[in-house]
Amino acid sequence: MRTHEMRLAGRTVTGHVVETQEDLPAFADWAGRHTEFGYDTETTSLEVYKPGFRVRAAQFSAGDQTWFLPVERHPRFAWYTTTTLRHAKQLYIHNAAFDLQVADRHLGVPLAELFPKTIDTGIISRLVDSRARKEGGPGHKLEELTEVFIDPVAAKQIKGSVGQQCKELGLKKADYFEQVSLDDEIFQMYALMDPVLAWVLAKTLLPKVPDSARHLIGYEHEIARICSDISKQGFLLDQPYTNELATRLRQEETWWQMEIEREVEKLGFIDVDEFNPNSTDNVFEALVYMGHLEFKQTPTGKPQVDDDLLEHLAEGGMYFARCIKEMRKAGKWAGTWPESFLANADEHGRCHANINTLQARTGRMSITGIPAQTLPSGDWIVRRCFLADEGHVMASIDYAAQELRMAAVLSGDERMYRAFELGEDLHQITADAAGVTRKIGKMANFLVCYGGGWKALVEQAKIPEAMARKTIAGFNKAYPGVSKLAKEMTATAGKQGYIETITGRRLYVDSARAYSAINYAIQSASRDVTARGLIKADRAGLTSFLRLPVHDEVVASLPKNQANDLAKEIGECLRTQIKGVDFVTEPEVAARSWGSLYGADH
DNA sequence: CAAGGTGGCGCC
DNA sequence: AAAGGGCGCCACCTTG
């Protein structure tokens, strides 16, 4: 047994490192005397479901005592870990979805057993303040929270120690956690401190959750458990198709690249070997050389070379611009989607998305691993990569105009209420009030919910200033309640620095952008509509069918012979009424692939 | 050389 | 009067 003395916020913390099996009785004795623990695991990587993933160590803390178990050394260390997890009545974990999926998959303790007795300090910190560091908030990483709420010096040391060690050992951070010796003293101290921080953070942050948001604590843990179940289940990848798609896109990229080389040589303005079509700077120089001198500016003042410009030039007959655009697209698509799916698949060909249930400052979820929220929807080739399980078909259940319905709820706008009740076309109503096309009316509807003004409409719809002003005025005339709500929320945000959503969530708003308050309120409450739906679907026993939540939609894999009934059942779970507004859902069942919901497989 | 910022583009 | 919200990922480029 080795011990380390560490300092945290003026107190001494004692770390105990279990080195051999002879040390286990002392651990068991200590653990048996407690029921409440901080908990953390050290693992080879963050990819829980990838072949080769291993748990390296597990750490438990209580008060100023903390213990390190070298799980990878012998199954008995893992056994003591699982026994302690089961014996615990209360666990404090930072980003519990990770550690609990690790416990489920690699230590054999189910998510359903541990989540109900866990307080996740990641969740709590987001209920206290949802802003990341770069948004002016305290952030949500362990080091960031420690710095702000516990001990800035300790936070720096913890972050610095691993960084410095990486440098000394010549390792990247990812390699460090895989390769570092469990006997390494600095690693041990780093690992020992984490569960202590989770414990202290839980005690420090829980009282800071605003009263209005306290009821969300249990709710958010339930959502985190459901989304962990969805991640664990995984989404079946059609590997042959995905391989073929990746190859095809790379071939397209190469073909366009050769066209570009020919063009560059023909023009003779620069060495072919030095021209990189993926470099915005290079393309800018080339365009200038070719006589194009008018560029919009990026937010930092650099010349903008985007798709809009390239398309404009291509339409004007510049083949070079067409080539750049097509090459960029093929390369980006190949790397972002099919290649990353293939790299992410587990040994059974399933991709496990990482669902961050409270990622955005509005509480919206984000999905990494499979960037499922950004797959092209106008073209089915990418979604075609994913399949329903054997004997299943794909279904999607989405909310009809979820955010506009929320705008109606929050504003109480009579015209909007009536439109939803009678099934009228809200976009046409705006269009009629302004004397513009439905398409522009629709853009205006969303724009106002995003806090935008007429200038943005000029850009997006490519219409003259006067028409854009007229359209926004038309919206205000059609739905005066929404206009009023936007003004009120902006004022509230400006005055108190934050708004409160109808679900009680406190959202801080930058004073320079107080106008975004209405969007925060709509987006956040809409997220909670979907999240409440997920809980209802879970309680109805439907979680194992769910593959992904995507903002206002849920994707599901359903047994073929009951697909329609199950899709309707999920739809009923998601459907809800708020202040007389019916949040209608639209179940849709297609064939085997996700792409079949977008026109593939016909 | 790794980490972080920026530009660009995919979605709701 | 004017104000487009929220993300993730890739490639490039700068920084330390």
Closest nucleotide to residue A283 (Cα to C1')?
C12
* CB proximity list for A78: less than 8 A, separation 6 or greater: A55, A58, A71, A107
Backbone angles phi, psi at A162, to 5 degrees: -70, -40
Residues A55 and A203 placed together within one structural domain of the fold: yes
Residues A186 and A247 placed together within one structural domain of the fold: no
Residues A379 and A520 placed together within one structural domain of the fold: yes
Question: What is the reported pLDDT for A100?
Answer: 97
pLDDT tens digits for A246-302?
A: 999 999 999 998 999 888 888 776 777 778 888 888 888 888 888 887 888 777 778
Strand partners, A61: A38, A66
- Position A563 in a domain: yes
Residues A199 and A316 placed together within one structural domain of the fold: no
Residue after which a domain boundary falls, among A209, A230, A262: A209
Residue after which a domain boundary falls, among A312, A339, A366: A339
Residues A251 and A321 placed together within one structural domain of the fold: yes
Residues A394 and A319 placed together within one structural domain of the fold: no
Question: What is the reported pLDDT for A289?
Answer: 84
Residues A291 and A392 placed together within one structural domain of the fold: no
C-alpha–C-alpha distance, residues A461 and A11, integer Å: 61
Integer CA distances (angstroms), A543 to A109, A200, A475, A484, A538, in order? 19, 33, 40, 40, 5
Displacement of CA A120 from its chain's centroid (Å): 17
Nearest to A275 by CA among A319, A311, A239, A320: A320
What 8-state DSSP symbol labels residue A270?
S
Q: What is the CATH number of the domain that holds A271?
A: 1.20.1060.10
Q: How far is the CA of A216 from the C1' of C8 (A)?
A: 26
Question: What is the reported pLDDT for A42?
Answer: 95
Residues A33 and A102 placed together within one structural domain of the fold: yes
Q: Which residue is nearest to nucleotide C11 (CA to C1')?
A: A278
Question: What is the reported pLDDT for A307?
Answer: 85
- Answer whether any strand B atom is within 7 A of the Cβ of A296: no
Q: Which amino acid is at A439?
A: K
- Answer whether any strand C atom is within 7 A of the Cβ of A516: yes
Residues A81 and A107 placed together within one structural domain of the fold: yes
Q: Which residues of chain A have pLDDT under 70?
A: 269, 602
- Position A455 in a domain: no
Q: How far is the CA of A87 from the C1' of C9 (A)?
A: 41
Question: What is the reported pLDDT for A104?
Answer: 98
C-alpha–C-alpha distance, residues A68 and A61, integer Å: 9
- Position A487 in a domain: no
Question: What is the reported pLDDT for A453?
Answer: 86
- Answer whether any strand C atom is within 7 A of the Cβ of A476: no
C-alpha–C-alpha distance, residues A67 and A196, integer Å: 10
Residues A172 and A36 placed together within one structural domain of the fold: yes
Q: How far is the CA of A381 from the C1' of B7 (A)?
A: 26
- Position A431 in a domain: no
Residue after which a domain boundary falls, among A166, A193, A209: A209
- Position A422 in a domain: no
- Position A428 in a domain: no
Q: How far is the CA of A172 from the C1' of C16 (A)?
A: 16
- Answer whether any strand B atom is within 7 A of the Cβ of A32: no
| Strand C positions closer than 7 A to protein CB | 2-13
For residues A37 and A84, the answer to whether their CB atoms sit within 8 Å is: yes
- Answer whether any strand B atom is within 7 A of the Cβ of A552: yes
C-alpha–C-alpha distance, residues A591 and A165, integer Å: 52
- Answer whether any strand C atom is within 7 A of the Cβ of A486: yes
Question: What is the reported pLDDT for A278?
Answer: 86
Question: What is the reported pLDDT for A175?
Answer: 84
C-alpha–C-alpha distance, residues A300 and A302, integer Å: 6
Question: What is the reported pLDDT for A442?
Answer: 92
Q: Which residue is nearest to nucleotide C4 (CA to C1')?
A: A452
Q: Considering its fold, how many domains does chain A have in total?
A: 3
Closest nucleotide to residue A551 (Cα to C1')?
B12
Question: What is the reported pLDDT for A284?
Answer: 87
Handedness of CA A342, A348, A350, A351 (dihedral sign): negative
pLDDT tens digits for A462-510?
A: 899 999 999 999 999 999 999 999 999 999 999 999 999 999 999 999 9
- Position A252 in a domain: yes
Residues A357 and A333 placed together within one structural domain of the fold: no
Other Cβ atoms less than 10 A from the Cβ of A260: the count is: 23
Handedness of CA A158, A163, A164, A165 (dihedral sign): positive
Structural domain boundaries enclosing A165: 2-209
Question: What is the reported pLDDT for A522?
Answer: 94
pTM > 0.75: yes or no: yes
- Position A443 in a domain: no
C-alpha–C-alpha distance, residues A300 and A144, integer Å: 28
Residues A290 and A387 placed together within one structural domain of the fold: no
For residues A57 and A195, the answer to whether their CB atoms sit within 8 Å is: no
- Answer whether any strand C atom is within 7 A of the Cβ of A502: no
Q: What is the CATH number of the domain that holds A556?
A: 3.30.70.370
Q: Which residue is nearest to nucleotide C5 (CA to C1')?
A: A450
C-alpha–C-alpha distance, residues A600 and A383, integer Å: 9
